[in-house]
Amino acid sequence: MVSGPCATTSTASRLRVSTRTTSHAVPQRAVTSAGSSIGEAIVSVTSVGGVVARSAESARSALQTESFDLLILDIGLPRENGLRLLQGLRNRGKIVPALMLTARDGLSDRVAALDLGADDYMTKPFEVPELIARCRALIRRSNAVASSTVTLGKLTLDIAHKEASADGQPLELTQREWAILECFALNAGRLVSKDRLMSTIASWEDELTPNAIEQYVSRLRAKLGAAARIRAVRGMGYRLDDGGA
């Protein structure tokens, strides 16, 4: 979630962008609430697949309905202070890494944000390579404390080694098939939209056809067999369930 990828705040802040930084893209999902124009620039320049929330309310809603690898958050959001949003998320047990991206550079602001649960703090204007490096570091640390194995019924994924098995038999998967299956597995039992799946595999250079997601899902269903079921929810997306469900 790029929620510092987000709102009407700080849109006049300077964003230094060099097209040479695009090779350092962070291939993750993020929510940002850092001013709509800045949030959209972050998503565009870094190739982050994510959500640009225009307010604390929309950021909170996105975090309640989907899983994200990172939250980029401004303090000065419309109608609600970003620190209050962060505090509420932490009080409810949300452990998504949070990077504060704001024009406020006072010591008291930095200390307050870190004490309330922020994992990092950057001030505007900022350099894109540094932002990307900080995002990568936060995601690495978050992934390091999470289990690298995901099991759903007879389906097992080893996230660290990018290996999957169904009913004890290893699966031969392409890069995109793996990326989609990983996205499903990390959101097992929850709806995953086609747009989210598209953003998951959109970092590869070759273009995607309009029915690409359906083709990849069809291939995965054939490879998974009865170990797990990918169910289509008309007009909304897909959900991965235990094969016995």
| Domain chopping of the chain, boundaries | 15-144, 149-242
What are 21-76's pLDDT values in tens digits? Answer: 222 334 345 544 554 456 555 655 454 556 677 778 888 888 877 778 888 888 88
Domain boundaries 15-144, CATH class: alpha beta
What are 67-101's pLDDT values in tens digits? Answer: 788 888 888 887 888 898 888 888 877 778 899 98
What are 155-208's pLDDT values in tens digits? Answer: 999 887 889 999 999 999 998 999 899 989 888 888 888 888 887 776 555 667
149-242: what fold? Arc Repressor Mutant, subunit A (1.10.10)
Domain pair 15-144 / 149-242, same fold: no
Phi-psi region of 150 (alpha: psi -120 to 50; beta: other; left: phi over 0): beta
The Cα–Cα gap between 178 and 224 comes to 12
pTM confidence score: 0.48
Phi, psi of 12 (to 5 degrees): -90, -5
DSSP result, 16-84: E--GGGGGG---SEEEEES-HHHHHHHHHHHT-EEEE-SSHHHHHHHHHHS--SEEEE-SS-SSS-HHH
